[in-house]
Amino acid sequence: MPDTLLPAIELQTGHNPIASVIWLHGLGADGNDFVSVVRELKLPDHLPIRFIFPHAPMRPVSINGGYVMRAWYDLGQGPNGLQSNEQDIRASQIEIEKLIEHEISRGVASDKIILAGFSQGGVIALQTGLRHNKKLNGIMALSTYLGMPDLLEKEASAINKTIPIFMAHGDQDNVINISLGAKSRDALSENGYAIDWHDYPMAHSVCMQEIEDASAWMQKQLV
């Protein structure tokens, strides 16, 4: 019996997609959150892409008083600030790996698959993309951070050591401070990854310039 996949919204920009983008939403949102961005990317007709927007599982979130919401992992208060649940992160990684394999089974080469994510979703995109055992096309990490930086060197996949990474952050972000994003960028650079870093005058959100920059990066990646 095949593995059950996370429920997801799918959108294709053309027939017979040559690439796939698996785009992960943030805490408390769902797969609908970034569907409208596809139109804003203004991708060319000759680049048919399948976008997959999975819904995170429902789970209690400690920092929100145990309220049940869509979350890729639990967040609680630790001795040094917010603490991410490592077991949940690894479980979400497995779920995204299933989606990658599903796209491969549908005829998309692994090196034409981009993982994208915002906030919590970006944590899982980085977690999965840096460790996946098949070559991926790239990672787009928006307003996010590296979930387990101390384990990256030990767990990183050799085949994705040169994976292109687009990172973007708002300099007025009061949810995930840009300093955490910059610290994650530096940790990735120190581990040999090439980072395409962008910051914008915005809060914990996305802006039109960011979308335009992401579109240009995506098109360059998928040529």
- Residues designated catalytic: 119, 173, 204
Kindly list the structural domains of the chain, giving each domain's residue range(s) and its CATH number in brackets, ordered by start. 8-221 (3.40.50.1820)
Which one-letter DSSP state was computed for residue 223? -
Is the distance from CB of 64 to CB of 16 less than 8 angstroms?
no
In this structure, what token pair is assigned to residue 203?
A: 């809060």
Q: Each residue of 2-27: pLDDT tens digit?
A: 579 999 999 999 999 999 999 999 99
Q: Each residue of 110-148: pLDDT tens digit?
A: 999 999 999 999 999 999 999 999 999 999 999 999 999
In this structure, what token pair is assigned to residue 77?
A: 């208060």
- The secondary structure of 1-28 as a DSSP string is -PPPPPPEEEEESSSS-SEEEEEE--TT
Residue 94 has pLDDT above 80, yes or no: yes
Q: Each residue of 139-180: pLDDT tens digit?
A: 999 999 999 999 999 999 999 999 999 999 999 999 999 999
Sign for the pseudo-dihedral over CA of 145, 179, 40, 27:
positive
Is the distance from CB of 200 to CB of 168 less than 8 angstroms?
yes
| 1 confidence band (pLDDT: 50, 70, 90) | very low
Is residue 218 within a helix (H) or strand (E), and if so which, with residue range? Answer: helix 208-221
What 3-state class would DSSP assign to 138?
A: strand
Which one-letter DSSP state was computed for residue 82? E
d(CA 212, CA 199): 13
